[in-house]
């Protein structure tokens, strides 16, 4: 009988499911060296946030088929090491959806009616009815930043409460927003017109301090903001200043840039216009049961030889199939990520053209890998090989697959054509040899570029001085160029330039690049 190690506390419902197919050992609080020592005995490992599954642990495992994280993120698991080892990594991306959405709504109502501050007032013997005059949410405008699963549930409930809904999400189609009763708008309009703003987005380079002093200045003095998503999306110092100065009416926070919240945080000094809770978004009895059951069922299924439904790495492939397709999967994910960043906004249509020998293969995993890359900028760790197709469908992205075995410039190549709200873009890539990726065409311009971590792409006139001026500009900002290539169709016509750089562009530099004479447009890409 297989053996499962449960190294963090999980609900007993999960243990009962695992016991159907395996012997279960519950050993919590294991030191890292002890986990490494005993892991060779086990076929599966179930964890929450307490256990760190390192490369050393995974390499020590001899029979580990699956690692299950009873929660959303998998930051405490070395996923690449698990993938190389052939272990499936699963999580429960929807287990706490309702809990998180309900907490955001509860925070909004508590903030509106001063519940958090009225309660201790009464318990201390006071009766301050005038002090705690509240406001109604009925017929108020709620701005939802991020219409994923949690934001969508907030929208459904808020609409039922009689609220008007605005939404900002560059990766959601107008049709999907309409289904939820939301009007898609840009971020500036949402900030200006909303009575309440609730955040439901991951923390990324683009969303860090999205709500800063400038954003807070745009909000109504009667507006209130709620963050139950991720700490760091709001500039806490700027928020404290705005609340102190009366620039906005209130805020409710469940997450913070540093957790636990520092003793000297200015947020601790504020009064009834601020509600704080200690990261309780997923802390419901139901959510803990849901994630335990969800992950335990997936572990059970994998031990029985069935596929996992929420794998964050490549599920359900035999090693020989994985080895054959692995280079193409990486190519597809890279190109999907690239075309998403070039498109910059909502994508409505994606044509995946499989060329050469790739057109003759069973390439459904390649399509999925393309969508995973395409959505990775918006969803980060929430998108995987299992849910990428569903997420694309929910966002109204129409995917068309085209096969052309007659194209033989390379052994096998992949072309992606994306059409979206900000324009159309095409990228093509191929394998050089067995596993070396090359970007071979960008928007119709031939190139031969290995993808790197940080790149700058420009569309410009093919004229003297362009390359030198751009190099000088980057040099003045201490940006080091690792490589450069230009692609053009005709002499002195339009061209593209691809620069590989050592570090991300400093803030504001992309706008300066676009101002250079002869440059039509520019893009910063991180892969």
Catalytic residues: 230, 259, 279
Gap between the Cα atoms of 212 and 209, Å rounded: 5
CB 143 within 8 A of CB 166: yes
Round to whole Å and give the CA distance between 414 and 359: 9
CA distance 64 to 35: 13
Burial class (CB in 10 A: 0-12, 13-18, 19+), 281: buried
Using DSSP, state whether 99 is helix, strand or coil.
helix
Continuous segment of H or E residues that includes residue 238: helix 236-244
Rounded distance between C-alpha atoms, residue 503 and residue 478, angstroms: 10
CA pair distance 402, 352, nearest whole angstrom: 6
Q: Rounded to 5 degrees, what are φ and ψ at 276?
A: -125, 135
Name the token pair of 177: 């927003």
| Cβ 248 vs Cβ 224: under 8 Å | yes
DSSP 395: T
> How many angstroms separate the Cα of 345 from the Cα of each of 168, 171, 178, 337, 479?
11, 6, 18, 13, 26
Whether 243 contacts 250, CB under 8 Å = yes
**Residues with Cβ within 8 Å of residue 245, at least 6 apart in sequence:** none
Q: Do 397 and 420 meet the contact criterion of CB atoms below 8 Å apart?
A: no
- Distance (Å, whole) CA 105 – CA 112: 11
Q: Determine whether 461 is exposed, middle or buried from the number of CB atoms within 10 Å of its CB (0-12, 13-18, 19+).
A: middle
Q: What's the rounded Cα separation, in Å, for the pair 516 and 248?
A: 39
Residue 11 phi/psi, 5-degree rounding, is -65, 145
Using CA atoms, how far apart are residues 378 and 373, in angstroms rounded to an integer?
10
Q: Quickly count helices (H) and strands (E) in the chain.
A: 17, 22
> 23: number of CA atoms within 13 Å, CB side?
6
- Quick check: 182 and 143 in contact, CB under 8 A? no
């Amino acid at each position: 009988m297989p053996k499962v190690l449960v190294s963090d506390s999980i609900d007993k419902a999960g243990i009962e499911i695992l016991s159907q197919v395996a012997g279960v050992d519950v050993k919590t609080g294991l030191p890292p060296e002890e986990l490494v020592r005993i892991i060779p005995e086990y076929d599966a490992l179930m964890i929450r946030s307490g256990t760190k599954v390192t490369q050393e642990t995974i390499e020590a495992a001899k029979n580990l088929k699956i690692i299950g994280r009873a929660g959303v993120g998998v930051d405490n698991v070395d996923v690449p090491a698990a993938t190389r080892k052939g272990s499936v990594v699963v999580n429960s991306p929807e287990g706490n959806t309702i809990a998180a959405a309900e907490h955001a709504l509860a925070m909004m109502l508590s903030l509106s009616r001063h519940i958090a501050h009225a309660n201790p007032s009464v318990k201390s013997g006071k009766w301050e009815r005038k002090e705690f005059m509240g406001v109604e949410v009925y017929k108020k405008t709620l701005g939802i930043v991020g219409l994923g699963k949690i934001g969508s549930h907030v929208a459904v409930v808020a609409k039922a409460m009689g609220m008007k809904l605005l939404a900002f999400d560059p990766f959601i189609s107008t049709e999907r927003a309409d289904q939820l009763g939301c009007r898609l708008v840009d971020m500036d309009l949402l900030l200006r017109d909303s009575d309440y703003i609730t955040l439901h987005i991951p923390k990324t380079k683009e969303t860090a301090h999205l709500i800063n002093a400038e954003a807070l200045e745009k909000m109504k003095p009667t507006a209130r903001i709620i963050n139950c998503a991720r700490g760091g999306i709001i500039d806490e110092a700027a928020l404290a200043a705005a609340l102190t100065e009366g620039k906005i009416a209130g805020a409710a926070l469940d997450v913070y840039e540093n957790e636990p919240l520092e003793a000297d945080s200015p947020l601790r000094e504020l009064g009834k216009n601020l509600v704080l809770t200690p990261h309780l978004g997923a802390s419901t009895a139901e959510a803990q049961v849901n994630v335990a059951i969800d992950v335990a069922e997936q572990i059970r299924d994998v031990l029985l030889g069935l596929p996992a439904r929420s794998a964050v790495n490549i599920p359900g492939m035999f090693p020989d199939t994985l080895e054959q397709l692995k280079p193409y999967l990486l190519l597809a994910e890279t190109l999907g990520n690239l075309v998403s960043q070039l498109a910059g906004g909502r994508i409505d249509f994606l044509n995946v053209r499989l060329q050469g020998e790739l057109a003759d293969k069973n390439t459904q995993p390649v399509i999925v890998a393309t969508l995973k890359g395409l959505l990775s900028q918006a969803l980060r760790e929430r998108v995987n090989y299992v849910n990428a197709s569903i997420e694309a469908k929910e966002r109204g992205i129409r995917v068309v697959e085209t096969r052309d075995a007659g194209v033989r410039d390379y052994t096998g190549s992949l072309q992606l054509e994306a059409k979206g709200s900000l324009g159309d873009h095409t990228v093509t890539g191929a394998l050089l040899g067995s596993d070396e990726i090359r970007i071979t065409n960008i928007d119709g311009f031939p190139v031969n570029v290995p993808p790197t971590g940080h790149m700058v792409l420009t569309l410009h006139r093919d004229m003297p001085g362009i390359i030198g001026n751009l190099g000088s500009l980057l040099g003045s900002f201490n940006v080091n160029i690792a490589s450069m290539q230009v692609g053009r169709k005709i002499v002195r016509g339009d061209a593209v330039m691809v620069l590989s750089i050592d570090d991300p562009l400093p803030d504001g530099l992309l706008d300066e690049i676009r101002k250079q004479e002869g440059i039509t447009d520019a893009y910063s890409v991180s892969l």
